[in-house]
């Protein structure tokens, strides 16, 4: 099984952030999961998070929801290709 951890803080100097991410990874390895990809919280700041755009995925209008989903897929493929590739290759994503 391949796992992707988004907002990984394992490289943080703050002991709580470091400890939390390290504990998650150790727990996964203990359960036999050895393929663990990470996307750091620093890299996460590159994700489009405009409130108006992000709320569109919750619209009651099906067309708006589909367009919003398409927008984010296109945005991730273009702006964060490593994250997009990791998402496609992962069996499980932990945020």
pLDDT in tens, 54-92: 666 677 888 877 777 777 788 778 888 998 899 999 999
> Where are the domains positioned within the chain?
2-94
Residues in the chain: 95
Cα 4 to chain centroid distance, Å, stands at 7
User: Is this model's pTM higher than 0.85 or not?
Assistant: no
Residues 6+ apart with CB under 8 A from 73: 84
């Amino acid at each position: 099984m391949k796992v992707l951890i988004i907002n990984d803080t394992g490289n943080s100097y703050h002991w709580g952030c470091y400890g939390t991410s390290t504990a998650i990874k150790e727990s996964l390895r203990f359960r036999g999961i050895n393929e663990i990809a990470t996307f750091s919280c620093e890299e996460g700041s590159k994700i489009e998070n405009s409130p108006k755009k992000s709320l569109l995925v919750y619209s009651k209008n099906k067309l708006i929801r589909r367009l919003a989903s398409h927008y984010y897929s296109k945005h991730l493929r273009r702006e964060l290709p490593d994250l997009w590739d990791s998402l496609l290759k992962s069996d499980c994503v932990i945020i």
